[in-house]
Chain A
Amino acid sequence: MIRFVARENVPRWLDFVVPLASVVLAMVVAGIMLAATGHNPLTTYQHIVQASLTQPGALSQTLVSMTPLMFTGLAAAVAFRMRLWNIGGEGQLYWGAIGAAGAGLYFHSLPGWLLIPLMMAAGLLAGTLWAAIPGVLRAYLNTNEILTTLMLNYVAANVMYYLIFDSTSYWRDLTSPSAKVFPQGKNLPAAASWPAFQVGSLTIPFGLIVAVGLAVLLWGMIRATRYGFEMRVLADSPAAGKYAGIRTRRKILSLMAISGGIAGLGGASQVGDFSHVLDPRGLEQAGFGYTGIVVAALARYNPLAVVVTSFFIGMLVNAGFALQGPGFPIGLTGTMEGILLFCVLGAEIFTRHRLEIRLPHARPKTQIPAPPVAVGPARGETS
């Protein structure tokens, strides 16, 4: 018989060993899956490392892949930290992209040093407002935010498609020859392209620097500010928070807004750093918002750890593009991501529990005195 027994005290080293061991386990399990689908696990892993780290330009590409994931990962982590389950990072990111693209197009005559902050502000604001809808519903009507944020993702996606495919909106390109063949967004002016920094052969997108700065800021906020203190109290016991005079509704609403703003900023970065156009298909296929939940969960909602986990998932995403081909469906990398998440989250049980194995034949019966009085149901009946 195998069972989990709760540990009465958790040794500190387990906090490090368990996640590491679970990554190794994930690699083994994913290796089995690779082998079963006719791929040599070792060469595949080698490919992954090459395609995401060692090949020329690979690391820079991984930084590109991880940037939006860090934004959505932070957005999810900060909300989840207070047990506010905002899984609407996806839709909030769409709105951030819509806002930033709109600002970039509208203020096209402004110089970059003015235009880029405006795009960031527009993305932030759009994401914030979109997240404020489920925030208000949760804070004042106690509506389940999981459902509302999820549903609003589809609404946001439809709005985005409408702007490019089904309307003559401000975002849609109606003049260029290629746009006559297939609907597409207007290209942003050159001044709206966010800068990238060159360190040796490495290209660091501006958005990545913003995201890392944000991660440090959020980490400090949770640890050292009054706002973060209130978050921690409400995460631990909502009733104690209410008792202590914390304005719970405001907190829920504001944290939801912060979370949405971060995701929106991710959308702005996606437009400003990389695509320079509002591209509904690309954004929807990438699924940054949903992958961000994975990033946050792997980081256990710690903003600093999000930097690491988004890099890790960014590597996988990037390698997926390189590996993808007739013999290697893109779904396979998604499956590997899933296995990783499953192992790392599943392994958490081992930090707080230990496995106990005992063999059934090692349980001889010990006679105890018959009950002085037979109390209980008639035992002859079987169900």
Chain B
Amino acid sequence: MADDLAMASGQPAAPLGGTPVPDRAGPASDGAGPIPALAARGITKHFPGVVANSQVEFEVLPGEIHALLGENGAGKTTLCNVMTGLYRPDEGYVEVGGEPVRFHSPRDAHEAGIFMVHQHFRLVQPLTVAENMILGWSHERGMWFSPHRVEREIAKVAERFRMPIDPRAKIWQLSVGEQQRVEILKALYRGARILILDEPTTVLTSQEVTQLFSTLREMTATGTSVVFISHKLPEVLAVSDRVTVLRAGRAVGTLRTADTDARSLAHMMVGRDIVLTRRRKAPGDHIGEAVLGLEDVSATGDLGTPALVGVSLRVRAGEIVGVAGVAGNGQRELAEVIAGERPATSGTVTIAGMPQRGTPWEAIDAGLGYVPEERIGVGVAPGMTIADNLILKSYREDGHGLILHARQALQNAAELIERFAIAARGPKTLARELSGGNIQRLLLARELSGHPRALIAASPTRGLDVAATDTVHRLLAQSAGDGVGVLLISEDLDEILDLSDRIAVMYRGRVVGVVDRDDADVDRIGLMMAGVGS
């Protein structure tokens, strides 16, 4: 193969794994402005029942951070998957450096210097950082690779971009932020000149976000281009040079970030004005007895280390208790212990007055609704239909005898699809065909229609767009209004402050303090989250 020869013989990386397409529209080399490093020209991409991209035009200049803004399902990820060779466009083509190209696979895109860091990392957990970086890379042809050489080279790249990493660390030992750093370094190490980041900040703490942003600037200073996919307005405003807004598969416009503001971007994104901040009206009087109680609960994490240490917490009917904390301080384990998915090593959990022995079915029978952090594969069975997913918990009670009431389930699904505004073709649509926001609507539809006494919502808006986030917030507030005791676990402090009546702060497996909303002070909570004072 010609490419391999070029690689092996020490040529600069020039070969491009793609065949030229007929020069139809003419590349943007007409003298006006700099040649874009990467461009999408009239990209149209259909999926069964949906137009994911329609005639999308998009350009990234060398050394620019270009944000791709849009709601979930607006077509951001699809566009990037087309530009990185994962999908082929139905119409239109991709240009690299002003030349039309046709990618047959991500490998072709890699050869052209285009790399994407996906929302879900593509790292092999038991392997080291160095091993992950060379994994599947055709540059390393032989049977053997020299770990020392690779480690040295990685250290060099890491230093250059000020992203410290231990090349010998195993992936599973790293935090999510560090894993992301590995993904970015992997791209840079393999010669990325255009880096596409899909919702890179969803998994990061605010400190890590700041660090990521300075890394990105470091990269663009050396001429690398960055495509930053996001639906978070403040981040887009903070980091990007230009913004392209996608709505319902169309590019609505490209603006210089300096010339715009959050309000007008939000308007472009949603197509209407939205209220960016809101406060739930205090429920005041109708707070009832405790529906969820933890008494001195301890539990261990996946690696056998203590994850919860003597946690005591009470949620009363009609109130929302927010659990704030930096990710990894026991929030996930807290939710799992209450839901009966993780055994408590000591202490008691009580749901609606029923002491729990720690099984999921007991918790469900006691009246616990649970929106798990991991929606696909836990909260929702992706290969099953909407109708099946909606009866995932209630199938045991409905009807009589052994038989499942399929028609009833379909009817029930049609109603819930309507009521919760799930965008789907029908009850028989597979859950995996839904966008993130609609999967969350599906989950909430099931949990809330089950009339829970207590509800755990774990990171319920993570990764959701503005409209879906709004729906989730409204539904949570509504169910608290209806007398459900809600435990809201979130890393988004604004969300917690907006919704909660009381806020519990977790640090290293302990509840380090519980404050009333009225006394809540962001700075104080921030310090508690960091383990300083209480």
- Residues of A that sit less than 8 Å from B by CB: 3, 5, 8-9, 224-229, 232-233, 236-237, 239-247, 356, 358, 360, 362-383
A370 touches B14 (CB 8 A): yes
Residues from 355 to 385 in B contacting A, C-beta threshold 8 Å: 359-361, 363-365, 370, 372, 374, 377-384
A376 touches B12 (CB 8 A): no
Cα separation A383 to B134 with both chains bound (whole Å): 13
Q: Across the interface, which residues of A come within 8 angstroms of B96, CB to CB?
A: 366, 368
Count contacts between A and B, CB distance < 8 Å: 160
Chain B, Cβ-Cβ closest to A382: B8
Q: Across the interface, which residues of B come within 8 angstroms of A356, CB to CB?
A: 104
Q: Across the interface, which residues of B come within 8 angstroms of A373, CB to CB?
A: 222-224
Cα separation A236 to B389 with both chains bound (whole Å): 11
Given contacts A366-B101, A383-B141, 4 further A-B pairs with CB under 8 A are A245-B361, A369-B62, A370-B12, A383-B140
B112 at interface, CB cutoff 8 A: yes
Q: Across the interface, which residues of B come within 8 angstroms of A226, CB to CB?
A: 395-396, 402-404
Q: Across the interface, which residues of A come within 8 angstroms of B278, CB to CB?
A: none
B193 touches A8 (CB 8 A): no
Contact of A365 among B15, B35, B365, B403 (CB under 8 A): B15
- Residues of B that sit less than 8 Å from A by CB: 1-2, 7-8, 10-20, 35, 37, 47-48, 62-63, 87, 96-97, 99, 101, 104-105, 112-113, 139-142, 144-145, 149-150, 153, 157, 160, 188-193, 222-224, 339, 341, 359-361, 363-365, 370, 372, 374, 377-384, 388, 391-393, 395-396, 402-404, 406
Cα separation A320 to B34 with both chains bound (whole Å): 74
Cα separation A377 to B149 with both chains bound (whole Å): 9
Q: Known contacts A362-B19, A376-B191; decide if A224 and B360 are in contact (CB<8 Å).
A: no
Can you give 21 A-B contacts (C-beta < 8 A)? A224-B406, A225-B403, A229-B388, A232-B384, A239-B378, A240-B377, A240-B380, A240-B381, A243-B379, A247-B361, A358-B104, A360-B1, A365-B14, A366-B101, A368-B16, A368-B99, A369-B62, A371-B191, A379-B12, A380-B10, A383-B142
Chain A, Cβ-Cβ closest to B384: A236
Chain A, Cβ-Cβ closest to B380: A240
Nearest CB on A from B35, distance (A): 8
Contact of B393 among A8, A232, A245, A363 (CB under 8 A): A245
Q: Across the interface, which residues of B come within 8 angstroms of A380, CB to CB?
A: 10
Q: Which of A225, A243, A360 has the most CB of B within 10 A?
A: A243
Nearest CB on A from B34, distance (A): 11
Contact of A237 among B153, B193, B377 (CB under 8 A): B377
Nearest CB on A from B10, distance (A): 5
Q: Across the interface, which residues of B come within 8 angstroms of A383, CB to CB?
A: 140-142, 144-145
Shortest 10 CB-CB contacts between residues of A and residues of B: A372-B223, A383-B142, A245-B361, A236-B383, A368-B97, A240-B381, A236-B381, A376-B191, A245-B364, A245-B360
Nearest CB on B from A244, distance (A): 4
Cα separation A380 to B12 with both chains bound (whole Å): 10
Nearest CB on A from B471, distance (A): 22
Contact of B404 among A228, A240, A247 (CB under 8 A): A228
Q: Across the interface, which residues of B come within 8 angstroms of A245, CB to CB?
A: 359-361, 363-365, 393, 396
Cα separation A368 to B364 with both chains bound (whole Å): 59
Q: Across the interface, which residues of A come within 8 angstroms of B393, CB to CB?
A: 244-245
Contact of A368 among B14, B144, B192 (CB under 8 A): B14
Q: Across the interface, which residues of A come within 8 angstroms of B188, CB to CB?
A: 375
A224 touches B404 (CB 8 A): yes
Q: Across the interface, which residues of B come within 8 angstroms of A358, CB to CB?
A: 19, 104
B339 touches A243 (CB 8 A): yes
Q: Which of A228, A375, A383 has the most CB of B within 10 A?
A: A375
B224 touches A377 (CB 8 A): no
B113 touches A8 (CB 8 A): no
Q: Which of A236, A242, A380 has the most CB of B within 10 A?
A: A236
Cα separation A229 to B387 with both chains bound (whole Å): 12
Q: Across the interface, which residues of B come within 8 angstroms of A381, CB to CB?
A: 149
Q: Across the interface, which residues of B come within 8 angstroms of A378, CB to CB?
A: 153
Q: Across the interface, which residues of B come within 8 angstroms of A240, CB to CB?
A: 377-381, 392
Cα separation A246 to B87 with both chains bound (whole Å): 37
Nearest CB on A from B526, distance (A): 32
Cα separation A146 to B521 with both chains bound (whole Å): 58
Q: Across the interface, which residues of B come within 8 angstroms of A228, CB to CB?
A: 404
Contact of A379 among B10, B37, B113, B365 (CB under 8 A): B10
Cα separation A365 to B157 with both chains bound (whole Å): 28
Q: Across the interface, which residues of A come within 8 angstroms of B153, CB to CB?
A: 376-378
Cα separation A301 to B59 with both chains bound (whole Å): 49
Nearest CB on A from B160, distance (A): 7
A9 touches B377 (CB 8 A): no
Cα separation A366 to B103 with both chains bound (whole Å): 12
A365 touches B16 (CB 8 A): yes
Q: Across the interface, which residues of A come within 8 angstroms of B140, CB to CB?
A: 383
B142 touches A244 (CB 8 A): no
Q: Across the interface, which residues of B come within 8 angstroms of A369, CB to CB?
A: 35, 37, 62, 97
Contact of A371 among B193, B380, B382 (CB under 8 A): B193
Q: Known contacts A240-B379, A356-B104, A379-B11; decide if A366 and B99 are in contact (CB<8 Å).
A: yes
B191 touches A375 (CB 8 A): yes
A8 touches B377 (CB 8 A): no
Chain A, Cβ-Cβ closest to B139: A377
Cα separation A242 to B359 with both chains bound (whole Å): 9
B144 touches A366 (CB 8 A): no
Contact of A243 among B16, B160, B360 (CB under 8 A): B360
Chain A, Cβ-Cβ closest to B101: A366
Q: Across the interface, which residues of A come within 8 angstroms of B223, CB to CB?
A: 371-373
